[in-house]
Structure 1
């Protein structure tokens, strides 16, 4: 099982690495999402050939959620470049981008 931490951050600060490689995660990988726009993330990932299941982490982890990603068989690296603009368009009004932070 691969553990990946994902951060939703204010793009106006230009901090972090906007690397988008969720399609390379093995099935059953555990992904930590940090941010408040969870409904938008779930909507995006469903459209990007992911089925997601959300699990809350215990108290004291404000705005943290664990998403379990199960890539569809048809997902491919080509979808990344095509869909990253869709992701930016979806989250642009809130000024958020997807940021792969690090393994944890």
Structure 2
């Protein structure tokens, strides 16, 4: 067994997941295909893949980062667009930390406001 998390051979376990929950797996695959690549989509595939990459970066899913980086490249994304996506995701994560900091300040001062 590998001692690291992102091992390409781990994809073999998708078959086990699909076999253990076939209806849920099929539902997810259908939803994923509709959200990412349905012919009726308005957002072009390149931009959908860059959005997906930004989300993957914020959720820190190594498998999704790999898949959506390669898909964005195949859809015509440039290295510069991928790099900008990385920093857009980083800015949003930082912004989320700052706005959650408001909650920290709210909790820190909760006793002050009731006194």
Task: Give the TM-score category using the shorter length.
Answer: under 0.3
Q: Give the structure, 1 or 2, with the largest relative contact order (CA under 8 Å, sep 6 or more).
A: 1
Q: Which structure has greater strand proportion?
A: 1
Higher helix share: 2
Q: With structure 1 as the length reference, what TM-score do the two structures score?
A: 0.26
From the CA coordinates, give the structure whose radius of gyration is larger. 2
